[in-house]
Structure 1
């Protein structure tokens, strides 16, 4: 794959991905170049490093335990696992947003129902954009409270890492870019 990296890095410019990836600024659809290489570096060194993945072990364990409890509560009756497998979404949401957020279920439901009809996609994208915007705002407010000494720092989640990189200004990373990476994290689910 590494030898043919450039050949695999270009994606077709389809309308639905363009809308949902904030004009192809996410990792999966960004055109090959400096920006794409930097995002890939951020993901491998900051977001997907062994220590970062290990730091979310308790989240994974808790979400698996919740799934097992749900199955157990069925009392031996057949269980429709497809409706219960929010495990991946739960783990990703908690790792990305630092915990459960009020709009998490709405966001996940909208991603599940993405069906390719542009008008519906635009409406869903606008709603999801508001949710992601609120999450980023809440994270900024919490980071400000920590800086002012009003609140104790918590473990950095994905949004915190991206905001820190944005603040360090080592690479131009706007809110649109942060949103597109969040979409990327959920997009494969």
Structure 2
């Protein structure tokens, strides 16, 4: 805290003469300077309450408290705030085992909720399946019935004689002569 106060102590805290004119650009500078001064006073006053100031800073704060009404109000508010913080009850420390037990209890509770939810979903699915098989008027998919008597008869394969008679129209006509053999044709042409 001391280094900031010492650095700014030598700055000119008086407002420049040219800022007194009603100029919007200067208004921003004026507000910025005033905010910086208030922040510095607040920090120095807070350090004074905590006993973290040098002798020079202590004299400066005591001078402000003697002469400045706004600093006196801020000082009384800070004292009130400090006493309220000190009078707050300190929560009792829980044993580590109790904290760990609470954490694991919450984890177990979440697991139970999940298992109940999954179990409920499974029961609901079974109820829907049972009701859909009982409801009349709906067609149910069934497998086709296969006649097993045909499977008991042996299979016969006819090699030279077909089981079904083949009509003559499918075969080449019998009245046409068969084409001559190529060797015989060659001998006839010579």
TM-score range, shorter chain: under 0.3
Query: Quick check: which has more Rg, 1 or 2?
Result: 2
Give the structure-2-normalised TM-score. Answer: 0.26
Give the structure-1-normalised TM-score. Answer: 0.27
